[in-house]
Amino acid sequence: MDEVYKLILKRRTIRSFRQKKIPLTLLKKLVNAGRLAPSGSNLQPCEYVIVNHPTLLEKVFSTLKWAGYIVPAGNPPEGKKPTAYIIVLINKEINKYGEKDAAAAMENMILAALEKGISSCWIGSIERKKLRKILGIPDKYKIESVLALGYPDEKSVTEEFKNSIKYWKDKQGVLHVPKKRMESILHHNLWSENE
């Protein structure tokens, strides 16, 4: 448990990447980690598209919106864009409400990637019609999320939550992300008001 817990503590969203390619065999392992995530009633509605071809990488990038609180500072700079994407789809003919399955798959892939030194950004702000056309995704699939992947080229740290959930970048380019304190969100056995 300690190794997985350490990975969870280390995980941060990254939006600037070194331009080192991720081996396809490793990308397939990440999809396998997603495939093995919990699935409601074991319906397994999720399917995946790996994108790592340079021309398609640029086209997929054009459909994504990054770091709304700090645009444009949160956008990956030129020469620091993701080197791969995994698009998570939900087959609506199996289960049109597969968002929880997709989320479990996404977290599995994020942690499996991090173990191999690959950072990620989970993206839900997507021009879905445009992405569907670019990748030729049939209408029976809902485009749930995009996982942007690459070897990290920036630092992100957590800060104690004070008055705002908004993250920011400092003058050195370090991303600071406020997180609530454990004491403010944990209730033991019975509900209790925290002071």
Q: Go through the domains of the chain in sequence order and give each one's CATH number.
A: 2-154 (3.40.109.10), 157-195 (2.20.180.10)
- Tell me, what's the pLDDT at 77? 92
CA neighbours within 13 Å on the CB side: how many for 174?
8
Q: What 3-state DSSP class applies to 37?
A: coil
- Tell me, what's the pLDDT at 1? 60
Report residue 51 CA to chain centroid gap. 15
Q: What 3-state DSSP class applies to 65?
A: coil
Closest CA to 131 of 46, 47, 65: 65
- 15 within 8 A of 121, measured Cβ to Cβ: yes
pLDDT string in tens for the chain (195-residue length): 699 999 999 999 999 999 999 999 999 999 999 999 999 999 999 999 999 999 999 999 999 999 888 888 889 999 999 999 999 999 999 998 999 999 999 999 999 999 999 999 999 999 999 999 999 999 999 999 999 999 999 999 999 888 899 998 999 989 999 999 998 899 889 987 755
